Structure 1
Amino acid sequence: MRDCVIGIDAGGTMTKAALFDLAGNELACARRPNEMLFPGPGFTERDPDRMWRSAAEAVREVLEISGILPSRIAAISVAGYGSGLYVVDRDGRPVRNGIVSTDSRAAQLVDEWRRSGIHDRAAAEIQQRLFNGHSGVLLGWLHRFEPGLLGKSASVTFCKDFLRGRLTGDYSTDPSDAGIAGLIDVEKQDWSRPFFDLAGILPWLDKMPSIGPSEAVVGGVTAGAAAATGLLEGTPVVRGCVDVSAAAMASGVVDQSQLSIVAGTFSINSTLHVSPRLSTLPFIQSPYPLGGFIATEGAATSASNLEWFLRKVLDGEGARAALDGRTIYDVCNELVGRGVDRENGILFFPFLFGGPRSAPAGLLGLRATHELGDVLRAIYEGIVYAHREDVDRLLSGPDAARPTVIRLAGGASRSPIWAQFFADAIGLPVEVPAGGELGALGVAMLAATGVGAYPSLIDAVKAMSHVGSHFEPREATREYHAEKFARYTATTHALADAWGNSSTTKRLNRFTA
């Protein structure tokens, strides 16, 4: 009896595999860290083969810890981070390291395109703004600075497609990944020849993969992949989608009344639309597997900033927490909870991976009387305020969505205190979906649909997504957050003016852009 599905999700920090029954209940999960490579200033890369080994090990582990026989797996599918880039030869071997979407090597190229007018013309072709980690922008950089790469390459591919290629040998893509790559006309759902021409990368057009439905079965697990993962050879593999869409589906986002927020490596804030032709161009945009389009505002200003703080500053505290069976996140929530009613004027600017107009990351307003919990609370709040700035932009314009509820996913959603901060600061109820690995659950829904367990994807989403907890905005905190958010935004602009105009920063930017 084939009554289970597996979803793989390769994100910015972890590659996860999760096993689900057909009701969407998570039966087992395994995680492997993704090692970030920094071969040059501003470069963030990943060894594709190592990522595949991590994914295969995670799949094998979920089978082992769950005790589920491989014969019960109806299908498997994959999600991955959007944008960035992977390039393979005719045999599916990577011809260079993969590039992660936090990469900033192409910042000067984007600035050059802005000055020349190419940026605005190109953005109109792909219905979204251009940013450093866009696949199209990275192709422009590679074409200029690694000109020999074109001749070695058979296909451009994206994170989830590389992993699925290792499962099946199929390196096609779907509209969601192609959209967030910044390489298609989102409305037509096909590669944008005018964009390739404007970006000076027309020779790469022949290297682009075919585009097909996210829920389509594209092949079976090969003998080699079966040996690596423990799956049965021939197990159906469904194409999958980008993690932004996967998390939204797993959160039960089906219409414009819902605002999807993912607080993970990136601040991801998304709404659904019937047309991609919006008066305010979003940060990224793509076709949504359920139909229509998903528009997103975001930046690398979310929970990855807390991860840095925990790793670099609280490593000793983490070790002590592990001794009594608690995680470092339990410790953080406890410390924040102790001081949640104390006066706290500390501002945290979550710009460790780049801020608006070169605004620096940091803490402002510290005093000797402050405790660690006060600092952690400021970090939680600063990340929420960065999300709110993105949300305010997303909801601007006459054709913006008008959501009435937030569906919150990502690391922050696992903290009730942090989820409450989101509700209080943005002023909308927050619903946290049940389950831990929503990216994996989203593509598990695709897997279930692809093999006919549900008559349609919308049926799968309604059956397999569940709300786990609910948080209402607290009127008592409204004035506090309004005042603190105003100081946060004003100070961000002031810091950007001061920091971005300094000669020292300009010299540093030449090495970090």
Structure 2
Amino acid sequence: MKDCVIGIDAGGTMTKAALFDLAGRELACARRPNEMLFPGPGFTERDPDRMWKAAAEAVREVLEVSGAAPGRVAGVSVAGYGSGLYLIDADRNPVRNGIVSTDSRAASLVDEWRHSGVHDQAAQAIQQRLFNGHSGVLLGWLHRFEPTVLDRSLSVVFCKDFLRGRLTGDYSTDPSDAGIAGLIDVEKVDWSRSFFELVGITPWLDKMPAIGPSDGVVGGVTASAAAVTGLLEGTPVVRGCVDVSAAAMASGVVDQSQLSIVAGTFSINSTLHDAPRLSTLPFIQSPYPLGGYIATEGAATSASNLEWFLRKVLDGEAARAASEGKTIYDVCNELVERGLDRANDILFFPFLFGGPSSAPAGLLGLRAAHDLGDVLRAIYEGIVYAHRQDVERLLSGPDAARPTVIRLAGGASRSAIWAQLFADGLGLPVEVPAGGELGALGVAMLAATGVGAHASLAEAVQSMTRIGARFEPRASNHDYHSEKFSRYSAASSALADAWRSESKLSA
């Protein structure tokens, strides 16, 4: 009996595989770290074949741990981070390392286009602002600085499509990935010739993959893929979608009243729309697998900043926590909770991986009386405030959505303390979806729909999602956070100005 589906999700730090029943309950999950490569200043890359090995191992592990016979798997689908870039040659092998969307090598190119006026014209062509990690921007950089890769490349692919290609031999893409890549006219769902011409990469148009439905079956698991994953040869594989959309679907985001927030490697804040947003072009936007469009504001200013602090500053605490049967996250939550009633005017700027207007990361307002709990609370709050800056931009303009509830996913959603801070800091109820691996669940829904286990994607979302917890905003706390957020915004802007001045003096 085919009564379960597998979702694979290759994110910024981990590749995960999870097995779900057709009601969306997680039966098993396995994770493998993705090794980041730093071959040059601002470069963040990944070995595509090692990522595939990680995914294959994770799939094999979930089958073994769950005890599920491979014949029970009705279908498989894949999610991956958006933007970045992968290239394959005529033998379907990587031409070079994959580029991760946190890459900043093309920053000077984006500045050049901004000063020449190309940026604004190109942004209108793809209905979103240009950023360093956009696939289209990275193609511009490669075209100028690694011109030989053009002739060596058969096709441009995106993260999830590379993995699905290894499963099936199909390297097409879907509208969500093509949109977030910054390479299509979002409304027409077709490669934007005007964008390619504006940024000088027209020869790459012939290297673009076919675009097909996110819930379309594209083939079956090949014999070679079956040998390394433990799946049955011929198991149907569904095209899949970008992780932003997958997480939103797994959070049950189906209309404009819901604000999807993912607090993970990136601050991801998204709303749904009937038409592409044009009055205030968002950071990224793309067609949404459920219909309509999803617009997103974000930056690398979220929970990854806490991870840095834990790894670099509290490394010893992790071992102590483990000896007490706890995780380092349990310890952090306890320390923050103890100090919630104390006055805390520390500001943390979560810009370790890049901030607005080049503002530097750091802590401001420390005093000798403060302790570790006060610092951790400031980190939690600073990440909430970074999300709030993105959300305020997202909700500006005449075509903005007017959400009444937040659906929160990502690392922060696993902490009740942090989820309440999001509710208080943003002034909206926060609902946390049940389950852990929402990116994998989102594409598991696509797999279930594609193979006919659910009659429609809307039915799959309704049947396979549920809310695990709800947090109501507290008026007095919201007032406190609004005042502190004002100081945070003013201070980060002032620091950006001072930092730029200091950089000029040092040059």
Separation (CA, whole Å) in 2 of partners of 1:411 and 1:505: 39
Question: 1:399: how far off?
Answer: 1.1
Aligned pairs for 1:333-344 (under 5 A) are 333-344=333-344
In structure 2, what is the equivalent of residue 304 of structure 1? 304
Separation (CA, whole Å) in 1 of partners of 2:60 and 2:35: 20
Unaligned runs of 5+ in 2: none
Question: 1:506: how far off?
Answer: 6.8
In structure 1, what is the equivalent of residue 95 of structure 2? 95
In structure 2, what is the equivalent of residue 168 of structure 1? 168
CA contact (8 A) 2:426 2:478 kept: no
Give, as a single letter, the amino acid of the residue that structure 2 aligns with 1:471: F
In structure 2, what is the equivalent of residue 511 of structure 1? none
Deviation string, structure 1 residues 213-244 (Cα, Å, up to 9, x no partner)? 00000000011111111101110000000000
CA contact (8 A) 2:301 2:383 kept: yes
In structure 1, what is the equivalent of residue 9 of structure 2? 9
CA contact (8 A) 1:89 1:154 kept: yes
Aligned pairs for 1:96-115 (under 5 A) are 96-115=96-115
Give, as a single letter, the amino acid of the residue that structure 2 aligns with 1:139: L
Separation (CA, whole Å) in 1 of partners of 2:497 and 2:407: 34
In structure 2, what is the equivalent of residue 216 of structure 1? 216
Question: 1:67: how far off?
Answer: 0.5
In the alignment, does 2:160 pair up with 1:140?
A: no
CA contact (8 A) 1:122 1:198 kept: yes
Question: 1:293: how far off?
Answer: 0.2
Give, as a single letter, the amino acid of the residue that structure 2 aligns with 1:237: V
Q: Residue 490 of structure 2: SS of its match in structure 1?
A: helix
In structure 2, what is the equivalent of residue 121 of structure 1? 121
Question: 1:269: how far off?
Answer: 0.2
In structure 2, what is the equivalent of residue 458 of structure 1? 458
In structure 1, what is the equivalent of residue 21 of structure 2? 21
In the alignment, does 2:335 pair up with 1:330?
A: no
In structure 1, what is the equivalent of residue 76 of structure 2? 76
Tell me: CA distance 1:276–1:506, structure 2 relative to 1, closer, same or farther (3 Å): farther
In structure 2, what is the equivalent of residue 150 of structure 1? 150
Q: Residue 140 of structure 2: SS of its match in structure 1?
A: helix
Question: 1:292: how far off?
Answer: 0.2
Q: TM-score, normalised by structure 1?
A: 0.98
Give, as a single letter, the amino acid of the residue that structure 1 aligns with 2:68: I
RMSD of aligned C-alpha atoms?
Answer: 0.8
Q: Residue 56 of structure 1: SS of its match in structure 2?
A: helix
Deviation string, structure 1 residues 310-347 (Cα, Å, up to 9, x no partner)? 11111000111112221111111111111111111110
Question: 1:477: how far off?
Answer: 0.6
Separation (CA, whole Å) in 1 of partners of 2:382 and 2:142: 35
Give, as a single letter, the amino acid of the residue that structure 2 aligns with 1:437: E
Give, as a single letter, the amino acid of the residue that structure 1 aligns with 2:243: D
In structure 1, what is the equivalent of residue 34 of structure 2? 34
Give, as a single letter, the amino acid of the residue that structure 2 aligns with 1:117: G
Q: Residue 447 of structure 1: SS of its match in structure 2?
A: helix
Deviation string, structure 1 residues 49-105 (Cα, Å, up to 9, x no partner)? 110000001101111111111000000000000000000111211010000000000
In structure 1, what is the equivalent of residue 476 of structure 2? 476
In structure 2, what is the equivalent of residue 432 of structure 1? 432
Aligned pairs for 1:269-348 (under 5 A) are 269-348=269-348
Tell me: CA distance 1:453–1:505, structure 2 relative to 1, closer, same or farther (3 Å): farther
Deviation string, structure 1 residues 400-447 (Cα, Å, up to 9, x no partner)? 000000000000000000000000010000000000000000000000
CA contact (8 A) 2:10 2:79 kept: yes
Separation (CA, whole Å) in 2 of partners of 1:29 and 1:325: 21
Q: Residue 205 of structure 1: SS of its match in structure 2?
A: helix
Separation (CA, whole Å) in 2 of partners of 1:331 and 1:218: 45
CA contact (8 A) 1:499 1:505 kept: no
Give, as a single letter, the amino acid of the residue that structure 1 aligns with 2:479: E
Separation (CA, whole Å) in 2 of partners of 1:246 and 1:506: 44
In structure 2, what is the equivalent of residue 180 of structure 1? 180
Separation (CA, whole Å) in 2 of partners of 1:51 and 1:81: 12
Question: 1:147: how far off?
Answer: 0.5
In structure 2, what is the equivalent of residue 449 of structure 1? 449
Give, as a single letter, the amino acid of the residue that structure 2 aligns with 1:261: I
Separation (CA, whole Å) in 2 of partners of 1:330 and 1:57: 29
Question: 1:476: how far off?
Answer: 2.3
Question: 1:196: how far off?
Answer: 0.5
Separation (CA, whole Å) in 2 of partners of 1:466 and 1:162: 31
Separation (CA, whole Å) in 1 of partners of 2:397 and 2:481: 24
Question: 1:501: how far off?
Answer: 2.1
Separation (CA, whole Å) in 2 of partners of 1:58 and 1:346: 41
In structure 1, what is the equivalent of residue 50 of structure 2? 50
Separation (CA, whole Å) in 1 of partners of 2:324 and 2:93: 45
Question: 1:505: how far off?
Answer: 7.8
In structure 1, what is the equivalent of residue 413 of structure 2? 413
Separation (CA, whole Å) in 1 of partners of 2:479 and 2:238: 48
CA contact (8 A) 1:500 1:506 kept: no
In structure 2, what is the equivalent of residue 246 of structure 1? 246
CA contact (8 A) 2:16 2:32 kept: yes
CA contact (8 A) 1:267 1:299 kept: yes
Separation (CA, whole Å) in 1 of partners of 2:92 and 2:164: 11
Separation (CA, whole Å) in 2 of partners of 1:305 and 1:506: 27
CA contact (8 A) 2:214 2:446 kept: yes
CA contact (8 A) 2:277 2:399 kept: no
CA contact (8 A) 2:76 2:237 kept: yes
Work out the number of aligned pairs and report it: 507
In structure 1, what is the equivalent of residue 359 of structure 2? 359
Give, as a single letter, the amino acid of the residue that structure 2 aligns with 1:469: A
Aligned pairs for 1:375-414 (under 5 A) are 375-414=375-414
Q: Residue 96 of structure 1: SS of its match in structure 2?
A: coil
Q: TM-score, normalised by structure 2?
A: 0.99
Tell me: CA distance 1:505–1:344, structure 2 relative to 1, closer, same or farther (3 Å): farther
Give, as a single letter, the amino acid of the residue that structure 1 aligns with 2:474: R
Question: 1:482: how far off?
Answer: 1.0
CA contact (8 A) 2:3 2:22 kept: yes
Give, as a single letter, the amino acid of the residue that structure 2 aligns with 1:489: S
Separation (CA, whole Å) in 2 of partners of 1:364 and 1:225: 51
CA contact (8 A) 2:277 2:295 kept: no
Q: Residue 348 of structure 2: SS of its match in structure 1?
A: strand
Question: 1:479: how far off?
Answer: 1.9
In structure 1, what is the equivalent of residue 491 of structure 2? 491
Give, as a single letter, the amino acid of the residue that structure 2 aligns with 1:41: P
Separation (CA, whole Å) in 2 of partners of 1:228 and 1:90: 23
Separation (CA, whole Å) in 2 of partners of 1:323 and 1:53: 32
Question: 1:504: how far off?
Answer: 5.7
Give, as a single letter, the amino acid of the residue that structure 1 aligns with 2:498: A
Give, as a single letter, the amino acid of the residue that structure 2 aligns with 1:303: A
